Structure 1
Amino acid sequence: MTDTATRLVVLVPAVAALLGLLLARRADVRVPRAVAITTSAAGIVVALLEVLGVHGSSGGGTLSTVPALAAGELRIPLQLQATTATATIALVVAVVGWAVQVFAGWYLRDDDRYGVFAATVSLFTAGMLLTVQSADLVLTLVGWEVMGWCSYLLIGHWSRKESAGRAALKAFLVTRLADVGFVLGVVILAAGAGSTAYRQVLQSWASTGCDDAGACAAPNGGLLNAAMVLLVIGVLGKSGMVPFHDWLPDAMEGPTPASALIHAATMVAAGTFVLAQLFDVLAAADGARWLLAVSTAVTMVYAAVLAFGQSDLKRLLAYSTLSQVALMLSALAVAPADEGPGAGVLHLYSHAFFKALLFLAIGWLSVTVGGTAAATMRGGLRGHLFIRPAMFVGLLSLAGVPPLVGFVSKEHVLAAAEAGTGDGAARAWLVLLAGLLTVVLTAAYCMRAWLVLDDLSAAEIQRHDTDSASLGVRTVVMVLAFLTVVGGLVVFTPLLDVGGRIGWLVAVLSILLIVGAGLAVRSVAQGEDAAARVVGQRMPAFDAGLGVDRLYVSLVAQPVLALARLVVFLDREVVDAYVRGAATAARLGGTGGQRVHRSEVAASGLAWVVAGVVAVALAGVALW
């Protein structure tokens, strides 16, 4: 039963995507909407069956998909796995996928391309579930690439807008550039292990042991570091970490359901789970962990600062995603080898619930007030029976207020960083200090967002019609809010191996939250946006990412464009010159022959033919 459920977890959304494409052009959107919502709900049921099937199992079971492949000495088993961790994260992805499909059915009800969007969401979900359930690097790579392609389609769904097309292209190019590293890392790991199966890769490359100082030895240390550095580069690109971060805020040009899907539990979080699966190998690659630690520490602080100064609340959530994904990845960079990746995976689980809740709630509210700009949404929560408590719970969880799920996972991440400082690891101190600073900044921008949305001094407070959204949308928001409140209880179950570390950081975290909230409140005059008070005239620079986009154009886009022009020149003027030369010679020969052989047979022409025959005969006799 477990094996069947594991296969169906990936197969159900894949079949839904195919059916959705076949039905996408129907004038009546009710059929593709029913298919999308029904299949996503079926995905939850199948994922729940998988969780129940593997519950309590001590090891990871693998199962086949299609016949294994052999490429010389390399074995490619193409297997899936069913463990408590993979089943739990698959259930989380299925829940978020269902929530997005229900919300999209209402949010895009008048969109003439809704059917294509719903099918793409299903395919995106299938790609993420394949990445989660994969026990093989090749299958992981397939799921990884499917998500990249679907993200381009979802971000650019409103392609009639120039800004949406540009954002989609930027996301595609930046992530594809980083994916080169991911592919090369996979190739090195697979070649060294002689197999693409995770189990063989871990056995071949994992450390042979650690000494008392915490230093771990591994076979082929230099090559292992190179492979994992390349793999980490791919993860940094897909997750939007510095220096690959600028595409993710621009991805807000896509519809809100697409933002919720990409930001909550799919593409940007996929790298966390991939590295968690390879944690034993990552723990032996000190260079790769340093790269991961530095990038995530810079990203979590930088993105939190930018989030506070955004004039658009949807982009505020986008920058908060950068900061929170950096936090979950940082746990993998500093967690002691014997503790494992549980803290990072827990924050992935946690972030999925409260970030999906926030994006869908802000999307619902934007329909009511007519936009996502802070000025437009000021006081917009007043009178909303469903959105107001949902947004309140989501922001509290994002800020890490106990006992919500965001607090539980953040505490475990910071505790993992604190544990890593025991042997004096500098990168653990870097992550710990950056994480504590991020806690303050996160509390500040969450408080700022709430004060804007719930502003009592707004000029006009209207009682909005809470029934404007469908029953399904209201159900989705309430389910996500409930999971955000009680989701932290997962640490008391065997579903995620996160340990039970509760230490001094709980008190420090609470104090920092109070400090951060106090800073936000003190900066606000009656009816004034905290960002306008603190950031002031620099807000457009914050909206532009402090000039990073222009930096991309100068350092990346223009050099790549110049290189592309050089390649085109070499292709046309050098490589094609041989082809054109052969064509010219053939054309000249044909023209000459045409002039010699006229359409009418002349006596001189016949004479030349006879002379040629005689010459050939004489040559044959002479050479016999």
Structure 2
Amino acid sequence: MTSAAVRLVVLVPAVAALVGLALARRDDVRLPRAVAVGASLLSVLAALLEVVAVHGSTRVTVVHTMPGLDAGELRVPLQLQATAATALIALVVAVVGWAVQAFAGWYLREDDRYGIFAATVSLFTAGMLLVVQSADLVLTLVGWEVMGWCSYLLIGHWSRKESARRAALKAFLVTRLADVGFVLGVVILAAGAGSTAYPQVLQVWAGSDCRDAGLCAAPNATLRTAAMVLLVIGVLGKSGMVPFHDWLPDAMEGPTPASALIHAATMVAAGTFVLAQLFDVLAVSDGARWLLALSAAVTMVYAAVLAFGQSDLKRLLAYSTLSQVALMLSALAVAPAHEGPGAGVLHLYSHAFFKALLFLAIGWLSVTVGGTAAATMRGGLRGHLFIRPAMFVGLLALAGVPPLVGFVSKEHVLAAAGAGAADGQVRAWVVLVAGLLTVALTAAYCMRAWLVLDDLAAADIARHEADTAGAPVRAAVTILAILTVVGGLVVLTPLLHLGGHVGWLMAVLSVLLLVGAGLAIRSLARGTDPAVRVVGARMSLFDNGFGVDRLYVHYVARPVVALAHLVVFLDREVVDAYVRGAAAAARLGGTGGQHAHRAERAASGLAWVVAGVVAVALAGVVLW
């Protein structure tokens, strides 16, 4: 049952993408919607079967997909795997994928390209599920690249808008640049292990001497660090960490369901799970962990500051994603080797629920108030008895209020950082201080968002339409809200190996920071948007990400364009010159031959041919 469930988890959304694409041109969206939503439900059922099958087991079940490949000395087995952690995260991705498909069927019901959107979401989900279930670096790379391509399509779905086209291209180019590192890291790990299978890669590179197994010699520490640094660079790009962060807020140009999928449980979180799978190698690669820790620490604070000052609440959620993904990655950067990657994976699990809930709720609300700008949404929750509690629960979880799922996972991340600090890791202290500061900043922007959305003085209840979303949308939001409330109970199950325990001192300190920051922002409100009072005229600077986009244009884009022009010049005027020269010489020779063999000289030409044949015959006789 386990093998069948693992295969179905990946295959069902992939097949749904193909079928949905074939149906995408239909005027009636009911059939494409039924395929997308129905297939996502089947994926949830398959993932649930996998969780049941592996629950309580500590062994790894290897699942064959197709015959492996032999490329010289390199073995590519192309296998999937089922463990407690992969099953749990696959279930999370499948649930979020279903919620997004259910919501998109209503949100984009009048979009003439809905069928293409739904098919792309299915393919995107299949790519993430392949990354989660993969036991092979090549399959991981395939899923990784599928998500990159699909993110470009989803962000640029409204391609009639120039801003959407620019955001999609920006996301594609930035992540492509970082992916060069990811591919090179995969190549080094695979070449050193002689296999792309995770077990062999971990055995060879995690520090053990595997000569007794006849596989390899002890790993080269410098090469190992280089490989993991390259992988971390790829992860930083896909996750939107500094210095690759600016593409992710711009991705808000895509439809809200696409934002929910990209930000909650797929591409930006994929790197966390890949590094968790390779944690034993990462744990002995000090340089890679330093790079990851510094980028994560800077990103979590920087993005939280930017989130507070955003004039658009959807972009506020985008910057909160950067900050929360940085928390996930920071746990992998500083957790002691014996504790493992459980804290980071737990926050991945937690973040998927409350962030998907927030994006769907903000998208639902935007339909009724006409936009996502803070000024437009001010007081917008009043009169919405269904969306209001969902948004309230989501913001509380994002802020880390106990006992919601966000509190449980954040405290495990802080506990991992505390354990690393106790072991004498300097980088763990950096992450711990940044994490505690981020707790206060997160509380501040969550309180600000709630005060804006629930402002009674600004509410115009009469302007709100009745909640027109159908039963599937209500079911999706309700289930995400329930999971946000009770999802923390997963720590009581054997599905995740958390290694250590919650540091209660850190928990108390973070709650105090949370309450203090929340009360401070509440006191600043005084009937207006707290960000307006704090940030004031500088809000446009926050909206522009402190001008990082201009820095990209001047110091990255322009040099790259200049380099591209140079490459084109060398290709056309130098490399192709030889080809054009050979073609010109051949053309000249042909023209000369044509003139030499004009029709009026045919007879003399024939005579020369006969003479040549006779000469060859005579030479043959003499030499014989």
1:614 maps to what in 2? 611
Q: Deviations over 1:313-367 (max 9, x none)?
A: 0000000000000000000000000000010000000000000000000000011
For the 8 Å contact 1:311–1:543, the answer to whether it is kept is yes
User: Once the 2 structures are TM-superposed, how far is the Cα of residue 589 of structure 1 from its aligned partner?
Assistant: 2.5
Q: Equivalents in 1 of 2:587, 2:523: separation in Å?
A: 83
1:342 aligns with 2:342: yes
**Which aligned pairs between 1:430-449 and structure 2 lie closer than 5 A?**
430-449=430-449
Q: Output the CA distance in 1 between the equivalents of 2:608 and 2:42.
A: 85
Query: Which residue in the other structure is 2:298 paired with?
Result: 298
Residue 459 of structure 1: how far off its partner (Å):
6.3
Matches of 1:294 and 1:199, distance apart in 2: 29
Q: Deviations over 1:504-553 (max 9, x none)?
A: 11110110001111221232232x21111111111111111111111111
CA distance in 2, matches of 1:157, 1:532: 32
Task: Supply the AA of the counterpart residue of 1:52.
Answer: V
Tell me which amino acid in the other structure corresponds to 2:491. Answer: V
Aligned to 2:24: 24
The one-character-per-residue Cα deviations of 1:31-84 (angstroms, maximum 9, x if unpaired) are: 000011111011111111110000110221112111111111211111111111
Residue 169 of structure 1, CA deviation: 0.7
Contact 2:414–2:503 (Cα < 8 Å) also in 1: no
**1:409 maps to 2:406:** no
Match of 1:215 in 2: none
Aligned-pair identity in percent equals: 78
CA distance in 2, matches of 1:607, 1:284: 83
Which residue pairs with 1:260 in the alignment? 260
Q: 1:120 to 1:468 in 2, by over 3 A?
A: same
Letter in 2 for 1:475: A
Contact in 1 for aligned 2:384/2:467 (Cα 8 Å)? no
What RMSD over aligned residues (CA atoms) do the two structures have, in Å? 1.5
Q: Which runs of 5+ in 1 are unaligned?
A: 210-217
Match of 1:331 in 2: 331
Quote the residue 1:152 is aligned against: 152
Structure 2 equivalent of residue 318 of structure 1: 318
State the partner residue of 2:424: 424
Tell me which amino acid in the other structure corresponds to 1:555. Y
Partner of 1:504, secondary structure, is: helix
Asked if 1:505 is matched to 2:502, the reply is no
Compute the displacement of 1:208 (Å): 4.3
User: Structure 2: which amino acid aligns with 1:518?
Assistant: L
Instruction: Show the counterpart of 1:189.
Output: 189
Question: Do the aligned residues in 1 keep the contact of 2:378 with 2:459 (CA within 8 Å)?
Answer: no
Tell me which residue corresponds to 1:525: 526
Check the 8 A contact 2:597/2:605 in 1, yes or no. Answer: no
Contact 2:380-2:459 within 8 A present in 1 as well: no
Distance 1:52 1:291 in 2: 38
AA aligned to 1:517 is G
- Correspondence for 1:244: 244
Distance 1:543 1:16 in 2: 38
**Counterpart for residue 389 of structure 1:** 389
With over 3 angstroms needed to count, the CA separation of the structure-2 counterparts of 1:615 and 1:78, relative to structure 1, is closer
Gaps of 5+ in 2: 210-217
- Distance in 1 of aligned mates of 2:102 and 2:142: 27
Q: Is the 8 A contact 1:48 1:91 kept in 2?
A: yes
604-613 or 574-583, which deviates more: 604-613
Q: 1:243 is aligned with what amino acid?
A: P
In the alignment, is residue 484 of structure 1 matched against residue 481 of structure 2? Answer: no
Task: Kindly state the Cα deviation for residue 188 of structure 1 after the two structures are TM-superposed.
Answer: 0.9
Deviations 1:276-319 (A, max 9, x none): 11111100000000000000000000000000111110000000
Cα pair distance change 1:615/1:107, threshold 3 Å? same
Distance in 2 between residues matched to 1:110 and 1:490, nearest whole Å: 39
- Which residue in the other structure is 1:471 paired with? 471
> Is 1:48 paired with 2:45?
no
Q: Output the CA distance in 2 between the equivalents of 1:618 and 1:275.
A: 76
Q: Equivalent residue for 2:580? A: 580
CA contact (8 A) 1:47 1:90 kept: yes
- Answer with 466-475 or 85-94: which moved more: 466-475
Number of residues paired by the alignment?
612
Change (3 A) 1:39 1:592: same
3-state SS of 1:144 partner: helix
Match of 1:58? 58
Mapped contact 2:382–2:459 kept (Cα < 8 A): no
Q: Identify the range of structure 1 (588-597 vs 435-444) with the bigger mean alpha-carbon deviation.
A: 588-597
Q: Which amino acid aligns with 2:200?
A: Q
Secondary structure of the residue that 2:525 maps to in structure 1? coil
Q: Given the two structures, how large is their TM-score scaled by the length of structure 2?
A: 0.96
Alpha-carbon separation, structure 2, partners of 1:502 and 1:544: 37
Task: Write the distance in 2 (CA, Å) between the matches of 1:53 and 1:223.
Answer: 38
Alpha-carbon distance in 1 for matches of 2:87, 2:259: 24
Which deviates more, 484-493 or 604-613? 604-613
How far apart, CA to CA, are the structure 1 residues paired with 2:590 and 2:59? Answer: 74
Moved more, 99-108 or 611-620: 611-620
Segment of structure 1 superposing worse, 252-261 or 554-563:
554-563
- Does the Cα contact within 8 Å between 1:386 and 1:466 map onto a contact in 2? no
The aligned amino acid for 2:419 is A
Q: Which amino acid in 2 is paired with 1:263?
A: H
Contact 2:418–2:503, Cα closer than 8 Å, also in 1: no
Q: In structure 2, the residue corresponding to 1:500 is in which secondary structure?
A: coil
TM-score by length of 1: 0.96
Give distance in 2, aligned partners of 1:207 and 1:417. 23
Q: Which position in structure 2 is the counterpart of 1:378?
A: 378
CA separation in 2, counterparts of 1:483 and 1:371? 27
In structure 1, the residue matched to 2:178 is 178
**Equivalent residue number for residue 111 of structure 2:** 111
SS of structure 2 residue aligned to 1:462: helix
Q: 1:592 to 1:336 in 2, by over 3 A?
A: same
Looking at structure 2, the residues matched to 607 and 483 of structure 1 have their Cα atoms a distance apart, in angstroms, of: 95
The alignment partner of 2:62 has SS state of strand
Whole-angstrom CA distance in 2 between matches of 1:590 and 1:529? 80
Give me the whole-angstrom Cα distance separating, in 1, the residues matched to 2:604 and 2:234: 74
CA distance in 2 between counterparts of 1:597 and 1:352 reads 78
Change (3 A) 1:207 1:586: closer
Give the whole-Å Cα distance in 2 for the aligned partners of 1:459 and 1:150: 38
Question: Structure 1 residue 198 and structure 2 residue 198: aligned?
Answer: yes
Counterparts of 1:467 and 1:524, CA distance in 2: 29
The answer to whether the Cα contact below 8 Å between 1:351 and 1:406 also exists between their aligned partners in 2 is yes
Return the offset for 1:373.
Answer: 0.6
Q: CA deviation at 1:462?
A: 2.8
Distance 1:618 1:471 in 2: 95
Q: Aligned residue for 2:143?
A: 143
- 3-state DSSP of counterpart to 2:70: strand
Structure 2 residue matching 1:371: 3-state secondary structure:
coil
Question: Aligned partners of 2:3, 2:539: CA distance in 1, in Å?
Answer: 53
Per the alignment, residue 214 of structure 1 pairs with none
1:462 and 1:550 map into 2 onto residues whose CA distance is 42
